[in-house]
Structure 1
């Protein structure tokens, strides 16, 4: 009976989201997000298909409490941590996992208590607030991300890293968030990646932490690590797309992303000059890339633009 009621509620909420998104100015009124919600992204079809309606509404509502935090980041964390509360693993609905985390957003009890003490959790959840209650857990996650750098988009990467101290985790969250956001034409948002591009990004995520190796093509070729173009070649090889070996050849192969067009996860970003490309990375969204930087530095996530860089352009490999 409870499962049926939850399903019906989810369907009603999804209908509300779809109608609200279609009417100018209604999203803010429905979700109570004030001025900031007007700039929030809209759910993609993938989000509407994957996220239970009651969770989608909570992600959108909670994100409005932190200017600069898009709901898709909360939703991506909810997906990775518990599949939006649907995971049967220990700690999601009661108890804790091996690390002591519990609830749909996988909070340590001490961390959850600390967040609740510092921030007001709106009515609508448990009394007192519980990390197992989706309402309380999602609002607490928004508050934690906000104080960790998400407010006003100061440091989205750092905020996610504070939630789980791992570069691979940040990459997964950013990629999942990109899939949940509906691509907006002529906006500063990242474009949606192709399935092959997403496969390339997923492969690159799996190589985080491997050492830089000049001429390295990675473990699949008997090497301990990668150089920059070896990583990009291997990532797209895993996605069924053949790339040339060197960064210059990859730049020449294109096709180049038109200037002014938003980048998409999986785009290759190049540095140097058009005739002398010396570095390449894989864009993963939110201004970040995965790359093999140089000797002594492992494959890692970095900003794809920085002060004084010699960024040239991006390409979007395809079959």
Structure 2
């Protein structure tokens, strides 16, 4: 197979991007764990309680009453734990009690203003008229606090809270300070949620699939949360085609390595007739077309696939929909003549006494 065809596989294309992924991503990988919620060991994160509103701890009594009410209202309205908003308010301006430049008027040295310290452009993009007075004023806590909640939500909160707080102020020391105050203000065992994008509700194997197909899918699901690296073949990272190849190999079946080779390997299946374990192909990336797809995922059911998407995707490897505009076709590797004998042998082994 020529280097040109390998470069186009899995829709990653640019050599410059590949260089960055292979050279700089490992250097920055520690920070990316927080930015993108990655998990070297895979696994899912339960996000069901990410937006829960904790009770007040004793330290919350130090918050001015009007600010505490605004934090709680914005938290409820936007699904952001109110104590995280309070942590930001404390670190930024002491809940508006600071007399520093830019808190009540003007701007500080960085151009930020108001009790939640917004840059003018950022506030304009996310501004909320919290008190419904027809004005959006970054110096008014009734507007600034719900705007902070909206901004956090835009950046991934509450499911990826550390990422969202980092986007608020690009410093991990800042993130840690905010969360330290949030813990002091929140009653009970408050724990911030930082999802890796792998939702625990996608853990179930398709009930209508054979034991063989379930084994294939189970392997692929176990790779969720690991990084996507173009050309990687596991076990710590995968690209789109190596993931599905390894999943089939884990069940004792050999399929080709690249997307280009996998497309003609299985039996073509009409859209709407796909079953768990089938492969779905996409016209993604330079050098690809409806006859030469460059990206692949594996059907798990209910319109979803397990797929290794890209190095900056959240998650890089996870469960996503395959019903998208660039979906071009489906194949069934288990129906390939090249696997017929092996599939029958493995199926017989699954029978009682087999």
Pick the TM interval, shorter chain: 0.3 to 0.5
Task: Identify the structure with bigger relative contact order (alpha carbons < 8 Å, sequence gap 6+).
Answer: 2
Q: Could you say which structure has the larger radius of gyration?
A: 2
Query: Which structure has the highest helix share of the two?
Result: 1
